[in-house]
Structure formats: structure tokens, C-alpha cells
Amino acid sequence: MWVRDMPKDSINIENCPFEWFRKGEEFEEFIVQFADWYQKKHQGRVACGIGIRTDESLNRFRTIAFQEKKITYKGYKWTTKLKLKERYIEVYNFYPIYDWAVEDIWGAVSKLELKFNYIYEMMYKNGVSVYEQRLCQPYGDDQRNGLNQYKTLEYETWSKILNRVNGVNFGNIYCKTTALGNIKSCKPNFMTWQEYSVFLLESIGIYNEDLLIHYYRKIKKFMIWYKNKYDVEIKNIPETAECKLENQKKAISWRRIARAIEKNDFYLRRLSFGQTKTDEKELKRLIHKWDNLLNQNTLTDDKNLIKIIQEEKGEVVNDRN
């Protein structure tokens, strides 16, 4: 059931020219393989323009700002030579707005009269701040928090989504409530947020010490980053920060840490980390070691994690999207 009709000139499974393509592979895998294919086809050095910014993710900041282990183009920090598995390819990623803030983007749109997707304007009028606006597939961990926007902004699309995706209206109704683990956490009143964070980690450690160490390592890295960049000592981490800043991932607090642990957020995206190859390798190791505990029913509702678990166990991936 297509939301939009497939264009006649589209590349699809029937006419795919990419012999390396694997059905169900992640976007991050595909773009590197495509870049390698494109470079070989045209026999020249290739530059890819990437619009990511470092203030969106701690992992993005680390990737661009620290270049000890990466090859750059003519020494520019905001470039990175791509690697396909273990070999470098003649393709460079360029990050021209890596140091821009949200205000810089909309300032440029206004001053230079640049074209932009009008859905952003509609989101703003519907109460979504410029810091929270995203255009992406709707069912990811973060994106589904905005499912209630569809019926207002794209009501024709919404009616088709209702017919196509089971449970989407539940997300529309409850995406901003505790039913989907958002907005409010169920912390015991007799605990501080710091105590609650430690309690959650210790509870994980009871049944899976490896998972406890994984979370501890990433949380420690998160704290060290704030210490180096903002001189926030661990003993001075506040219990809570302004909700707006926490939601924008612009402030450190014990509440923000606890909520990330609560959600079984393996990659800790809520602490501004991105998905890395090291994390994926660690996840696969844990899947095999803790087979009786790590499965798609008990670990998470994160589609990416479920897909990796199913692939590692040789199960059929049910890609409902």
C-alpha cells in the first residue's frame, strides 16, 4: 500500500543496477557503497556534501572536530575520507555547515532569501520550535514523538498512513505521554535523579554486567565531554536542567541520563551519541553472549536494534515500512 505512487523512472527491486545492494540494508551502509560505485563509474575524486551540524550530536562533534584518526582533504577539519569496510576509497565527505547553529541556518534563509521546505513553516505555526523540527521517516525512536503532527500538517497523507501502518493512531494519541515513555518518567519520589540513574544501572547489572559496562562507558564519555567543553565537574551535574534545553540536548543533567537508561537506548542517542560501528559490534557480541535475555521482545522497541538482533539470530526481518 503506497502512500505515493512509484514514479515511472524510479530505481526499484525490479531494475536495480547495483549488484552490491542487499535488501534491508541500512541507509548508512548504502550511501558508502553507492559513493564507491559512483567513483568507480566516473573514475575521479568525488566529494559528497553533507548537511550535518556538530551541535546536533556529540558523536557528530567528535567525528568532525577530532581528526587524529581520519584522513582529510588538504588538511581541512571539516572533510573526511570515506572508508568502505577496511579500505579507503577516493571519496571525501564535506561538512560545510558543521559549525552552524539552528539560528545560523534560519538567519541565512532569511537574509539570502533561500528556498526551503514550507513544511518547516507549518511546523512552526503548529507549535514545534525550530530546535525540534525534523523531516525524516516517521517511525524512528525520535521521529515518532511527532506523529501527532501528521493529521494537522498533511491530512491527506495521514489518511493513507492510517490504512498502511498498524498502531500509528495510537502513536498519534499517546506520543507525548508516558504510554510511549515520553515527557514524564516514573521516578520514585524518595530518590534523587542521580540515585535513580545509579539504581537503573545497578538493576541492569544484576542480569547483564556487560550491558551495564557499556552504558557506564558511554555515560562517562558524556560527562568528560561536558567537563572539557563547559567545565562541569561530575559532582556539579545538576539534578535537572531546563526542560527545553534537555529536549534540545543542550544541557547535562541526571534526569536526562536517567531517561536515556530508562528507554534501553543502547546507542544513548538521548545523550547526543550516534550509532557507531563499535557500538554495533558490541551489540552483536552481547546478542550471542546473552541470547536468553537480549531479544526483540525484551530488549527494546527500537527498530534498528530489533533488525540487528534478528539478523544475528538468522531470523526473517519483518520490515513493515
Query: Tens digits of per-residue pLDDT, 123-150?
Result: 999 888 888 888 877 776 666 777 888 8
CA 58 to chain centre: 11
165, 200: one domain: no
Give, in order, the Cα–Cα distances in Å from 173 to each of 93, 107, 113, 133, 149: 40, 34, 37, 19, 11
175, 198: one domain: no
Q: Which amino acid is at 153?
A: L
pLDDT at 317: 46
Give, in order, the Cα–Cα distances in Å from 59 to each of 64, 127, 155, 179, 212: 9, 28, 35, 29, 20
218, 287: one domain: yes
pLDDT over threshold 80, residue 219? yes
**pTM of structure:** 0.55
Greater pLDDT, 279 or 227: 227
Greater pLDDT, 35 or 28: 35
pLDDT over threshold 80, residue 34? yes
Rounded-to-integer distance, Cα 219 and Cα 142, Å:
19
Least confident of 18-22, 83-87, 211-215, 286-290: 286-290
The whole domain housing 76 covers: 27-94
173: helix, coil or strand?
helix
pLDDT at 37: 94
Q: Is the residue at 108 inside a domain?
A: no
208, 307: one domain: yes
pLDDT at 141: 63
Strand extents, DSSP E, the chain = 46-49, 79-84, 87-94
pLDDT over threshold 70, residue 121? yes
pLDDT over threshold 60, residue 224? yes
**Structural domains of the chain, count:** 3
pLDDT over threshold 60, residue 103? yes
**Contacts within 8 Å (CB) and 24+ apart, 194-197:** 194/237, 194/239, 194/254, 196/254, 196/258, 197/254, 197/257, 197/258, 197/261
Domain boundary among 94, 127, 149: 94
Counting every residue written for the chain, the total comes to: 321
Task: Classify the phi-psi angles of 264: left when phi > 0, otherwise alpha if psi is within -120 to 50, otherwise beta.
Answer: left
| pLDDT tens readout for residues 148-178 | 888 888 888 888 888 888 888 887 887 766 5
pLDDT over threshold 60, residue 301? no
